[in-house]
Amino acid sequence: MNVLRIRNEMRSGKTIFDLPLRVTFYARVSTEKDEQINSLENQIQYYTELIRSKPNWTYIEGYIDEGISGTSTKKRDSFNRMIRDAKAGRFDFIITKEISRFSRSTLDSIKYTQELLEHDVGVLFQNDNINTLDSDSEFRLVVMAGVAQDEVRKLSERLKFGFRQAIKNGHVLGSDKLWGYDKKDCVLTINEEEAQVVRRIFDLYANQQMGIRRISQTLYDEGFTSRKGNAFNVLTIRHILSNPKYKGWYCANKSQTVDYRSKRKIFLDESEWVMYPDPSIPAIVSEELWDRANALYKRRSQQMMSHQSGAEFHNRYPYSGKIVCEEHGTSFHRQVLRSSKGEKEVWQCRVYRNRGRAGCTAPQLRTKELDQIMADIFNQLARNKQAIIDAVVTVLQSVPDEHDYAQDLRRVEEDLSAIQAKKDRLLEMSIEGAITMAEFKGRNDGFNEQIKTLEEKRSAIQAESEKGRRTAARLEEIRSVLDRELSFQNGINSALVATILDHIVVKKCSTREVLHLDIHLKFGGPWRAVFDREKSSVCFNPS
């Protein structure tokens, strides 16, 4: 059976147990200890009896992985075989204990459930009370993915803590192929042959006021080429000019991942960078030259932006590249119309923008109207709002906090105790006259510096531990935020639109008064919307 037919039957009042499905199960334990093995045997017996007890279901032998961690699916043979069999159409439905059975990563679990749905295979996560054959399940999974991003952020914070500790120890992190440097064991040394090119770039840009493309050509004419023997890429020159390492500064937090699936990054404003002089990074150019070059770079960038003020980045707006004219197959472009009443954001067919009404009869779309239509769709998808919120909180509670901060703190306390013991012994030696007062003071000051460093490390670990702790208050705060978001009290959420919307087709029959739209989400559909502008109302026709 395909997913659409199953959902139609469930909407008519049938339950999943009333449908003729071929059903299997997936069971996994992460260790081979006796109690875990017994747990696995209990799971197998339970699911086998459950499936066989349903007269409309056909039992398909289950898939079991023993003593394998859920962190990665690469070595989980039965799981991978189950995915292959699902794609081959050997069963319709999988029962498993909880989302974490598929993978310890919530994001991976969601990815696999969506992949299975594309092949008409549903999954029941019993403990999480999620059946992906329910009509709102994919929406719930997308919402959970958004919340799970917070767990990714926490992991990132833990990694950054490790980075900071490496930096304190004089280790330079980042690319191993930084032009002008050799890097070994996290230590940078200047490569004089390449550093000559870096100095030449800064000289041509800051002192001779050359543009970047001309610099590339000049370097090539002078015999300076990339490691592959080509002319220097324009982007490479820009990165060299803007990298503070060349003046001996550490720089981090220049970019941020905004999409955990595609790993798409955005570059942050310089005011958000973390920068400071780092004695472990040898400078290739002076601070004065670097600062002058970057001041010029900023001025030129601002001038270029002022000349291109009408241009917009493709992914800056949730509807960018997602509205299509049925008549011409071309995309709609954004435009801001200004009048005495203020600004209005609209979308126009590219053919209309180039040739006017004679070229395309499709009406303009207003962002405000599109937001209203999408909000209506989301409201219908999120009818069981409380179930979605409960599912999200359940997932958050099940995600393990794998870093052992208590062990880190114990180590720091042990180091502090050891140094204090050394201080006590040093004092005894001074009293006994075994060392001079000057020697006592020097060694004692050294111990005090070590104690100060360890106390700072202890404070940092305690702060990280506090961030990672899921308190009841924090879960209640998450509940409140989700309730507001799913009620659309603050208007439509642009990020939600960008995540869920695939594309919108503006039908040929659309007029200035009535819009006819086919709205395709990244799951299911299409939603066929008719928007009456005079009444400011939308209705949906069956797809």
**Statement: residue 71 has pLDDT above 50:** no
**Statement: residue 398 has pLDDT above 60:** no
**Statement: residue 292 has pLDDT above 90:** yes
- Distance, in Å, from the CA atom of 97 to the CA atom of 27, rounded to the nearest integer, reads 7
pLDDT interval class at 8 (50, 70, 90) = confident
- List of residues 6+ apart from 263 with CB closer than 8 A: 257
375 domain residue, yes or no: yes
| Domain end position, chosen among 111, 135, 159 | 135
DSSP-based helix, strand, coil % in the chain, nearest 5 = 50, 20, 30
| Residue 105 or 112, more confident | 112
Q: What is the CATH number of the domain that holds 35?
A: 3.40.50.1390
Based on the fold, state whether residues 485 and 362 are members of the same structural domain.
yes
**Statement: residue 383 has pLDDT above 70:** no
Based on the fold, state whether residues 464 and 382 are members of the same structural domain.
no
Q: What is the mean pLDDT of residues 254-267?
A: 54
**Statement: residue 190 has pLDDT above 70:** yes
pLDDT score, position 187:
77
pLDDT score, position 525:
62
Asked if omega into 363 is within 30° of 0 (cis), the reply is no
Q: What is the DSSP letter of 98?
A: -
Domain that holds residue 444: 402-469
pLDDT score, position 69:
44
Based on the fold, state whether residues 378 and 423 are members of the same structural domain.
no
pLDDT score, position 199:
95
pLDDT score, position 33:
46
414 domain residue, yes or no: yes
**Statement: residue 209 has pLDDT above 80:** yes
Q: Is 1 exposed, middle or buried (0-12, 13-18, 19+ CB in 10 A)?
A: middle
26 contacts 62 by C-beta, under 8 angstroms? yes
Three-class SS of residue 40?
Answer: helix
Of 159-168, 269-278, 352-361, minimum mean pLDDT range: 159-168
346 domain residue, yes or no: yes
The residue with tokens 């409960």 is 390
Based on the fold, state whether residues 369 and 449 are members of the same structural domain.
no
380 contacts 135 by C-beta, under 8 angstroms? no
Three-class SS of residue 366?
Answer: strand
| Domain end position, chosen among 423, 440, 469 | 469
158 domain residue, yes or no: no
449 domain residue, yes or no: yes
pLDDT score, position 257:
56
**Statement: residue 490 has pLDDT above 70:** no
441 domain residue, yes or no: yes
pLDDT score, position 95:
95
**Statement: residue 51 has pLDDT above 50:** yes
| Residue 14 or 147, more confident | 14
Based on the fold, state whether residues 106 and 235 are members of the same structural domain.
no
pLDDT interval class at 165 (50, 70, 90) = low
The residue with tokens 């204990």 is 97
- Distance, in Å, from the CA atom of 128 to the CA atom of 130, rounded to the nearest integer, reads 5
Based on the fold, state whether residues 118 and 76 are members of the same structural domain.
yes
Q: What is the mean pLDDT of residues 317-334?
A: 88
Based on the fold, state whether residues 340 and 381 are members of the same structural domain.
yes
| Domain end position, chosen among 307, 334, 368 | 307
**Statement: residue 330 has pLDDT above 60:** yes
pLDDT score, position 522:
72
Based on the fold, state whether residues 377 and 519 are members of the same structural domain.
yes
pLDDT score, position 497:
77
502 contacts 523 by C-beta, under 8 angstroms? no
Q: What is the mean pLDDT of residues 349-372?
A: 87
| Residue 33 or 528, more confident | 528
515 domain residue, yes or no: yes
pLDDT tens-digit readout, 438-455: 888 888 888 898 999 899
The count of residues in the chain is 543
**Statement: residue 260 has pLDDT above 90:** no
Based on the fold, state whether residues 281 and 330 are members of the same structural domain.
no
| Residue 193 or 306, more confident | 193
pLDDT score, position 311:
40
155 domain residue, yes or no: no
pLDDT score, position 170:
44
Q: What is the mean pLDDT of residues 171-199?
A: 77
Q: What is the mean pLDDT of residues 351-356?
A: 80
pLDDT score, position 74:
52
Based on the fold, state whether residues 192 and 274 are members of the same structural domain.
yes
The rounded mean pLDDT for the chain is: 78
pLDDT score, position 144:
61
The tally of domains found in the chain comes to: 4
Based on the fold, state whether residues 37 and 57 are members of the same structural domain.
yes
Of 89-103, 239-253, 380-394, 498-512, minimum mean pLDDT range: 380-394
pLDDT interval class at 433 (50, 70, 90) = confident
Q: What is the mean pLDDT of residues 484-510?
A: 77
Based on the fold, state whether residues 183 and 60 are members of the same structural domain.
no
pLDDT interval class at 386 (50, 70, 90) = confident
Kindly list the distances between the CA atom of residue 354 and the CA atoms of 333, 334, 348, 358, 425, in Å, as whole numbers in the listed order: 11, 13, 10, 10, 86
**H-state helical runs in 367-493:** 367-381, 385-398, 405-431, 437-468, 472-487
